[in-house]
Amino acid sequence: MSEFDLPESITITRPDDWHVHLRDGAHLGSVVAHTAAQFARAIVMPNLKPPVTTTAAAAAYRDRIKAALPQGSDFEPLMTLYLTDNTPPDEIRRAVDSGFIHAVKLYPAGATTNSDAGVTDLRKCYATLEVMQDLDLPLLVHGEVTDNDIDLFDREAVFIERVMRPLRRDLPALPVVFEHITTKDAAQYVAEAEGPIGATITAHHLLYNRNDIFRGGIRPHYYCLPVLKREEHRLALVTAATSGDERFFLGTDSAPHGIGAKETSCGCAGCYTALHAMELYTEAFARAGALDKLEAFASLNGPAFYGLPKNDGTVTLRRETWTLPATLPFGETQVVPLNAGEPIGWKMA
C-alpha cells in the first residue's frame, strides 16, 4: 500500500492492552493516564518490588491504580499474580474467587526486570498449575531461558523446546499466553500448537529489528527483553499479527524506567510506548497494507482469549503527523518515550 492509498482515518472497536507495566507510587501516577487514554482495559504486570504474589496484594495494587486514574476515566485494570516456587494452590482459588485477577505470570528467575523472586524450576509449581488448569486461569509466560551459555538472541527459541513444550504436554488444557514474542520460532509454535494458547506482540517488535539498537551508536531506549531480533523475525511477527489468526493479540509491554536507569553503564530493559501505542501499531499495520486486520488484533482476539466481552465504543486514528516529546514526567524524574523527539504519522482522536 503506498502512502496515497492510505485512508485518512481508521475507526475500530476500543482496544485493550494485554501486557503493560504500570509501576507503582509516583511512577504509577505519571504513566497510568497514558494507558487509560489509549485502552479500555489492560492486563497489569505484577513485577513490582516486592512482587504482587497474593490476591490481597493485587487488591491493594488495583486500588492504587484506580486512585491514580484521571477523574472520569472508566479504565479497568485486569490484575495478575506473580508466580513463585512457593505460590500455594489455595492462592489460585482466592485469585479466581476475587473476580479481578485474570492470570498468573511466570518469570523465570533472573530473566528480566524484577524477576529475582521468579520461578527457579517449573516442576516446583505443578500442584499450583494444576489448579490453574482446573479453574481455567491463564498462565502468562516470559519465554526466555536464563542459562548463561545460551546466546541472548537464542533464549526464546530454546525456551520453546526446554520449557514450553514439556509444560504444555503435562498440562494440555492450561491456557497459556506466550508474552511479547520476538522470533519466527515463537510465532510458528503459537500458530501450530494444539490446545489453548495465545501470544502478545509489542509495537516495537513489529517496527524495529536489532540494528535499531545500534543505529549510529548505542541506543538504550530500543533495549528491551526479549531483545529485538533479526529482520527475518520482525517480518514473521508482522505476518502473525496481520494474519487475522485469533491467537495473536496486542500487548504493548510498555515498561517505563527513569532516564537515569536507561542512559547509564548498565541500563535497564524496557521501552516506553504507553503514550503512543495505538499510533505505533497503526503505523506497523499500515506499512504491511493490513489496516483491515488491526481491529481483530487490537480489540477482538484478546477479549475472546480471556473470555471477556469486547468493549463498547470505538476509537479513531487519523493520518496526522505530530512530534513525540523528548521526555515525559516520571515521578521524581523523566521517562524517554520510544522515538522521542521524532515525528509519528498517526494520531488518536
Q: Which is nearer to ligand NCD, 21 or 168 (CB)?
A: 21
Instruction: Please indicate whether residue 253 is annotated as part of the active site.
Output: yes
* Least distance from ligand NCD to the Cβ atom of residue 86, Å: 21
Pairwise CA distance, residues 160 & 58, whole Å: 29
Pairwise CA distance, residues 163 & 168, whole Å: 9
* Least distance from Zn ion to the Cβ atom of residue 166, Å: 20
Q: Which residues pair with 248 in a beta bridge?
A: 199
Q: Which is nearer to Zn ion, 142 or 262 (CB)?
A: 142
Side-by-side strand order, sheet with 176-178: 17-20, 41-44, 76-82, 101-106, 139-141, 176-178, 197-201, 248-250
Which residue of the set 136, 245, 253, 292 is catalytic? 253
Q: Does 142 bind ligand NCD (CB under 6 A)?
A: yes
Alpha carbon 156 to its chain centroid, in Å, reads 15
Q: Which grid coordinates are listed for 51?
A: 512482587
Q: Does 253 bind ligand NCD (CB under 6 A)?
A: yes
Mark 18-57 with x for binding to ligand NCD (rule: CB under 6 A) and - for no binding.
Answer: ---x-------------------------x----------
Residue 61 near residue 79 (C-beta atoms within 8 A): yes
Give, as ranges, the residues between 179 and 218 that touch ligand NCD (CB under 6 A): none
Is residue 19 annotated as involved in ligand binding?
yes
* Least distance from Zn ion to the Cβ atom of residue 176, Å: 14
Is residue 180 annotated as involved in ligand binding?
yes
* Least distance from Zn ion to the Cβ atom of residue 141, Å: 9
Q: What are the Cα distances from residue 172, in Å, to 91, 158, 165, 181, 194?
A: 22, 20, 10, 20, 8
Task: Name, in order, each residue with C-beta under 8 angstroms of 317's C-beta and a sequence gap of 6 or more.
Answer: 9, 10, 11, 12, 278, 279, 282, 346, 347, 348, 349
3-class secondary-structure state, position 108: strand
Residue 201 near residue 151 (C-beta atoms within 8 A): no
Q: Which is nearer to Zn ion, 179 or 295 (CB)?
A: 179
DSSP element (H, E) containing 28: helix 25-38
Q: Which is nearer to Zn ion, 27 or 142 (CB)?
A: 142
Is residue 142 annotated as involved in ligand binding?
yes
Pick one of ligand NCD, Zn ion, none as the site partner of residue 270 (Cβ within 5 to 8 A by kind).
Answer: ligand NCD
Give, as ranges, the residues between 265 and 294 that touch ligand NCD (CB under 6 A): 269-270
Residue 316 near residue 349 (C-beta atoms within 8 A): yes
Q: Which is nearer to ligand NCD, 286 or 336 (CB)?
A: 336
Q: Which spans of this chain sit near Zn ion (rule: CB under 5 A)? A: 112, 142, 253
Pairwise CA distance, residues 103 & 200, whole Å: 14
Q: Which grid coordinates are listed for 122?
A: 517449573
Task: Name, in order, each residue with C-beta under 8 angstroms of 77's C-beta and a sequence gap of 6 or more.
Answer: 22, 41, 42, 44, 62, 65, 66
* Least distance from Zn ion to the Cβ atom of residue 140, Å: 9
Is residue 225 annotated as involved in ligand binding?
yes
Query: Which of 112, 242, 282, 334 contacts ligand NCD by CB under 6 A?
Result: 112
Q: Does 113 bind ligand NCD (CB under 6 A)?
A: yes
Q: Which is nearer to ligand NCD, 255 or 278 (CB)?
A: 255
Q: Which residues bind ligand NCD (CB under 6 A)?
A: 21, 47, 112-113, 142, 224-225, 253, 255, 269-270
Query: Which parts are annotated binding residues for substrate?
Result: 21-23, 47, 142, 225, 257, 269
Instruction: Summarize the annotated binding site for Zn(2+) as residue ranges.
Output: 19, 21, 105, 142, 180, 253
Q: Which residues are catalytic?
A: 253
The annotated binding site is made up of 19, 21-23, 47, 105, 142, 180, 225, 253, 257, 269
